[in-house]
Structure 1
Amino acid sequence: MSTAPYISPLDSSRTDAPSGLRIGGDWTLAHYARLETEVLALSGSLEREAEIDLQALGALDTAGAALLVELLGSQRLAELAANAPGLAAERRALLQAVGSAIAESGQLLPAKRVAAWREVLGHIGQAVDDFYRQCVALLGFIGLTLSTMLKILLRPGRWRMTSLAAHLEQSGLNAVPIVALLTFLVGAVVAFLGATILADFGASIYTVDLVAFSFLREFGVLLTAILMAGRTASAFTAQIGSMKANEEIDAIRTLGLDPLELLVLPRVFAMLIALPILTFIAMLSGILGGAVVCALSLDISPTMYLAMLQENIALKHFLVGMAKAPIFAFLIAVIGCLEGFKVTGSAQSVGEHTTSSVVQSIFVVILLDALAALFLMEMGW
């Protein structure tokens, strides 16, 4: 049965009674608010020699013990708990534990207010440090992957052909419909917008060149790489991350096998094969989408469309776009696998690193594509 807590003077009916307090009732969290008010009112006014009676103390929890420490002090409360007659053993132990813990922790200093500009600079510094560490980890993993790749290239007996075929189907063949559909629609949109804008200048015929240049040099490989970053890099991270969480990678190492050779290289080789093929399909689909719009809106027949492509578009534009595909494929696969190896062991970690792999892959692809475009423009290629 719950008893209301109280703090009362000792023998208040007697004028010659010694100064002190009788503490009783249930000192629990349910009564914390009322007890805190009384404790604050008495703090500082209680003499060191005052007598304290704890015999009537009822139920006690850590909240009530902390208030008693605040009222009496940790050292004095420990002495009272050790010497108080009639105090239950569990309450005695709780008072001593809370008192010693608060005494060891000391007085907590109030948190200092930090200027907003310092917090902003701190976050920027943390972000720069994280970016630097990520770059170092990525470069190191690229080096490990390349060294392992060179080590097994001349040893066909160690090639994982079954795993390569499975990943090639997953990352290449199964991605053909979405890549072809997306690039076809983007090609149609580019052709429609180009025809609309160029018509104001009487140059609608150059819509063919616009579609061809954009898809052969940029859109074909860029859209395909972004799709593969969202579709395949995330799959690589989730697969390897789940194995890491289930300690399967530790089992692979225990068996004397190399996780890079067993898990990473088949995925990297599959991407190196699949992405150039998908890029070629994306180029054809985008040009086909432009041809459909030109035939419907500009009365440019497919024969004339192909003739203009052959006459105005040099082979170097196709080669520039295809040359980017293996680089993007390697980076996407490596980032996806690296993030999988970073998983710590929980489902939340798998999700976080899967998201991170997609973001990093798309960022790297767009950054390298922009740098390559600037370089090739300066070189006149």
Structure 2
Amino acid sequence: MSSCDLSNARFDTKMIHAGHVVDPVNRSMAMPIHQTATFAFDTVEQMDKAWDDLGYLYTREGNPTVIALEKRLAAMEGGESCVVTGSGMGAVATTLLSLCRKGDNIVASKGLFFHSDILLKELFEKMDITVDFVDFKNIDEVKGEIKDNTSILLFETPENPALSVVDIAEMSKLSKENNCILIVDSTFAPPPISFPLSLGADIVIHSLTKYINGHGDALGGAVIGSKKHMDIIKYPGMPCFTGAALSPFNAWLILRGMETLEMRVTKHCSSAMEVASYLESNPHVEKVIYPALESHPDNGICKRQMNNMGGGIVSFWLKDGINGLSVREADYMLCNKTKLFSIATSLGEAHSLIQVENDDMLRLAIGLENHEDIINDLKQAFSIFD
């Protein structure tokens, strides 16, 4: 078996073959797990050469299973290089710590994941790096906050859990006009939904824990972009020095999950669309938010930027006053009545999840069950109000 040229391969083929190497010693077809903390040498000279050549010495600095995952992730996004980390937050922190300098300014979205929001407010402002939070749906507001020392524009799309869709191409143009690095957290819209680098983003971040791993059993994060930007993160080795390195076992789990990424994400999206459509017709529901619905204000961007796939998250509000209940009380009753859904916080895994947000929004992370069974479970839960 010779090496496979993937330059013209389709996405699903790349997700199976990119980074895959048959074990040269035992000819194992499955990717080996190099589950080791350190690497041994026959001679001191061999170890010296490994130091000089940036070879494998200690897993926190590099590991063959982890490197295979980085290659596949770069192929996934069409990037030149990738850095993986122990979690999605590790990816965010590692990227910003590597690229920012004292006195820099970051313009960040008000719609960031709240842990990213806390990171910027609690850590970066202590480092004399100012952060301005704006609505990235309003390009004039973003323009108004860009300063001479602004180095980074940072946003998520779709945002969590409001599911607003930011126009990446529009923000790319703005970032280039102002010599800023455009960083997009695309956790809610992984390939094949969206390809931020092809739309002009400089760097794309993913929480691998979600759709890309897909089974809810491994934490991980990824940063993907040009070799120039990734080298700043890799050398001298920010994931290594912050302790944000990914374990070989988790890397192997994520590699395995990526082989079915396209079919899983497609199923998440099609089922979520069915659920969103059902909820729009439910008399107890006040409002449904799902980017692929025609009623969503960003549906046009979704069609253009997300291949008209809305992702696997559906958010909605119940009407106030159902049977004399407050919205919050009704939220709790509905969640507790579900049977197929698990009350948990995450997304992109096989099981469907439900949770109540702070503003009385209900967030559904649609899993891989049959969409009719998901809808039937919601119907029986809604029957508590009859």
Per the normalisation by structure 2, the TM-score is: 0.18
Whichever of the two has the greater Rg, that structure is 1
Counting helix residues as a fraction of each chain, which structure ranks higher?
A: 1
